[in-house]
Structure 1
Amino acid sequence: MQQRVFATLLGAAALTGILLNACTPQHSALEQVLDSGELRVYTRNGPTTYYQGPRGPAGLEYELARSFADHLGVRLKLVVKDNLEEMFIGLRKGRADLAAAGLSVTEQRRHQVRFAPAYQQITPQLVYRQGSLPEPRDFSDVRQGYLEIVANSSHAEQLHQIQQSHPDLQWHENPQAGSTELLSLVAQGLIDYTVADSNEIAINRRYFPELRVAFDLSKPRQLAWALPRSEDTSLYNEVKHFFETQRESGELAHRVKQNYEYVRNYDYAGTPFFMHHMRSRMPNYQALFETAARQNDLDWRLIAAVAYQESHWNPLAVSPTGVRGMMMLTNVTAEQLGIADRTDPAQSIEGGARYIKSLYQRFEDIPEDDRMWFTLAAYNVGLGHVRDVQGITEQLGGDPNKWSDVKTNLPLLTQQKWYQRTRYGYARGHEPVTYVNNIRSYYDILRWHLRTTPAPGQIPSSILAYSSPAL
């Protein structure tokens, strides 16, 4: 009898627990992120998404995801998934809160994920290698070549649609490679064609100047973050609010401009010349760049990029204004730095690196994302002129601490209306804009083409060896 009563009580207690659990409200997706203190974000390696820059992690998707995590007051946990199918499966299974990976919005994908508001437009384009094949005019000219694309990409969806009017069109989907690696295979002549988005092509053409765009596959498409499909819209609503705020404040436009505008005016024709000097000149000085970088907490490839912009890695270079040496130091600057011989490459590189570091420290009021670009502009045109233009930018209603705003106004130093109001007067304000853009591109090319960062004092045997697709 006692056992029966005990069993009855035990069953009642279990039932009560089930009912209590059923009545307890479940945490929403947003509450789960806030409670955990962590935002889990899928992304991809690449110059348009996420990579290691001169001062740490960089890329448009990384910057936006970091800002959203800051907006929520949680830490950002990035999970790199270069395989798109794995990314979508992971989202459906709740292994990540969202994907910020340069994803095109398509109808087929809408059945798998919920897309946030779009933040950028791109155009899918067919790419080939100049000189290897006649320029294709449409897909009728592509049938004889080998076309390879990223597996499970939006481009695969488009090609299936195009195949209805071009039934002979064939292609291979590569589940292991990203867009950057496929572009490199086209540049090397290992495959004939690939399809990539216009933003990726613009950036990667600096690494592979042989690439050419044949034609667009479609009208422009939108890029957006992806979230799991669910009746719970709490996190989606917060993402939507975040992008609305970013758009209204102008921050979104600033970030897109910051990540892409410097590429637009790059001289692609100069890349082969630069790469020739990578082979013939840079190995003689790489150990010096590495030593100077280590002593000043800088990326040696950034110092090398500055040196190339200044002198094309010629230690005996002399300008008409009297600056000379690898880092083209003025006589006054050299004396301040204690440099006895500006034409000695070791002294010039060490002095130039110290000068970059000292300017960088002077811009402690500038956010980290832009601080190095202000530093390089000051290396070129002088700290005083950059500070002058910060003042002009503020007068015009811009943000004096944003490089995209300041570089727009630097050319005003050539106009009497503006330079007569400044402390340091006239300057060729267009030059530091081009200067910074070129260095950013040289740095990106060095980072891409050098397979590893060698230990101090070691010179790589093959400087032009292609790296993995991860940037």
Structure 2
Amino acid sequence: MNKITIVYQLKKIIFINVLAFLSLLLVGCESKNNNANIQRILDRGYVKVGTLFGPNSYYINAQGPAGFEYELAQKYADYLGVKLKIVPNYNLSDLFPLLDSGAVDFLAAGLSVTPQRLKKYNFSPSYNEISQKLIFKQGNIRPRKLSDLTGSFLVSTKSSHAENLAQLKLTHPNLNWQETDEFDSEELLVKVLNGEIDYTVVDSNTLAISRRYHPEVSIGFSLSKKEPLAWMINKQGDDSIFASLIEFFGQVHHDGTLLALDDKYYGHIEKFNYVDTRLFIKAINKKLPKYQSIFEKYGQEIDWRLLAAISYQESHWNPHARSFTGVRGMMMLTLPTAKQMGIKSRLDAEQSVRGGAKYFKQMIDKIPDRIPKPDRTWFALASYNIGFGHLNDARIITQRQGGDPDRWFDVKKRLPLLKQKKYYKKTKYGYARGDEPIHYVENIRRYYQTLSMVADKSIENRLKELTLEQNKDEKSADVLGSN
């Protein structure tokens, strides 16, 4: 996925000042009567946000609600000092009526700002950008242009993909596709892999996540240039919600909150490696079942999937792994560390995992309590790889350069400086290969996310089944009540 484009220094200052100026103009022109929309939210004590179930917007994992859009909406609720009430939907076609009827205050669902949508709705400042990708199954003939699309082609109804295709058909009259309101883009992606359809369109951010557990997805070509993503607001009523969103996005741009959130969800998935991802998926199916109970046993204080991800990075779940440096076993422990953790045999899978879990827990405990998750976890992983002393050196450099030493996004940019003499000669622990922990942490984040998504898909699918069952029951009750 493309990272959020934020130009620092002068452009950033201009951007924030323009937002602030626009906000002041809007607020200054309003009377008390024109603040009805935002005042209604403040009076009732919660903001109602429509979204979609999916890897980018909203899903339920083992820890509870998650997703980029969900967390950003939660930060907006915190900004207003109210609670967040999420109204999730499975189909895009069901989402817009909620906004039209006033059932939600706005939509936060990774929606592109398109010409057709601008005619009917307002949008918040953009917080990201994506491009539309035409996808097909690896092994099939790659389409490189619109005229190559000769097979079945299906996209979601009322999506920006359908809107874009309609525009392209004006100059490519032979372009044909079908639309569905039954499946979202991620479900259509799976249909491509299953051979049920030949092509579909997926946003680049969704594709970046999906390829971690569907590596056979291939990109034919881009159907669009970069498009801004923004929250959608109803044009009816006053502009008070719009004005508050301008102020909110100005703040999260300025203080780094948006960058940190982007890094949390997308910072580890920029580069896709088909072979590595395919091998990992194969290992999940073939190797992991043999050792999963061990990871679960010693992953009570640490998410067992994170423990398993560390082990895969270290040894590819090979209990007899060894390297020329002398580290061995599932968790590739050094002999001194193994002795310190009370491990007698590093080649025994259970002992190695027990020792690795204990050692990693010590790394977590060394990280200052003020640092929240997930940064706390990423710092602990970096410390596990490079050592706590070198990590602290990088954090000190970060602080000296005006960055936030408690934020992984800032510190990881300074870790490579530990290889440069002009920096490491001023540190306590000296030279270190500071780029290695960056790759180490990002690899584990990818493996961890894939393991989590595999598990979370089962949770999400079951939740969807229950919701559909509940809807059927409610419809049956309505029919009975009308008789």
| Fold similarity call, TM over 0.5 | yes
Q: Report the CA distance shift for 1:451/1:67 in structure 2 as closer, same or farther (over 3 A).
A: closer
Matched, 1:29 2:37: yes
Per-residue deviation at 1:90? 0.7
Look up the SS of the partner of 1:213 in the other structure.
strand
Query: How many angstroms apart in 1 are the aligned matches of 2:248 and 2:456?
Result: 37
Unaligned runs of 5+ in 2: 1-31, 465-483
* Structure 1 match to 2:382: 377
Of 154, 163, 171, the match for 2:160: 154
Query: How many angstroms apart in 2 are the aligned matches of 1:452 and 1:203?
Result: 13
Amino-acid identity (%): 45
Q: How does 1:380-459 map to 2 (within 5 A)?
A: 380-450=385-455
Q: Report the CA distance shift for 1:355/1:452 in structure 2 as closer, same or farther (over 3 A).
A: farther
What amino acid is aligned across from residue 51 of structure 2 in structure 1? T
Q: How does 1:254-269 map to 2 (within 5 A)?
A: 254-269=260-275
Look up the SS of the partner of 2:75 in the other structure.
helix
What amino acid is aligned across from residue 140 of structure 1 in structure 2? S
**Which range moves more in the overlay, 338-347 or 392-401?**
338-347
Residues 389 and 406, structure 1, Cα contact 8 Å, conserved in 2: yes
Query: How many angstroms apart in 2 are the aligned matches of 1:145 and 1:436?
Result: 41
Look up the SS of the partner of 1:428 in the other structure.
coil
Query: How many angstroms apart in 2 are the aligned matches of 1:468 and 1:222?
Result: 32
Look up the SS of the partner of 2:306 in the other structure.
helix
Per-residue deviation at 1:106? 1.4
Query: How many angstroms apart in 2 are the aligned matches of 1:182 and 1:453?
Result: 18
Query: How many angstroms apart in 2 are the aligned matches of 1:221 and 1:271?
Result: 28
Q: How does 1:71-470 map to 2 (within 5 A)?
A: 71-132=79-140, 134-142=141-149, 144-294=150-300, 296=301, 298-363=302-367, 364-450=369-455
Look up the SS of the partner of 1:40 in the other structure.
strand
Per-residue deviation at 1:174? 2.6
What amino acid is aligned across from residue 249 of structure 1 in structure 2? D
RMSD of aligned Cα (Å): 2.4
Q: How many residues align?
A: 432
Matched, 1:70 2:74: no
Per-residue deviation at 1:195? 0.6
Per-residue deviation at 1:87? 1.2
Q: Report the CA distance shift for 1:191/1:84 in structure 2 as closer, same or farther (over 3 A).
A: same
Unaligned runs of 5+ in 1: 1-23, 455-465
Per-residue deviation at 1:62? 2.1
Per-residue deviation at 1:121? 1.4
Per-residue deviation at 1:266? 4.2
Query: How many angstroms apart in 1 are the aligned matches of 2:456 and 2:49?
Result: 27
Q: Report the CA distance shift for 1:451/1:394 in structure 2 as closer, same or farther (over 3 A).
A: closer
Look up the SS of the partner of 1:360 in the other structure.
helix
* Structure 1 match to 2:67: 59
Q: Report the CA distance shift for 1:67/1:356 in structure 2 as closer, same or farther (over 3 A).
A: same
Per-residue deviation at 1:286? 0.8
Look up the SS of the partner of 1:368 in the other structure.
coil
Look up the SS of the partner of 2:269 in the other structure.
helix
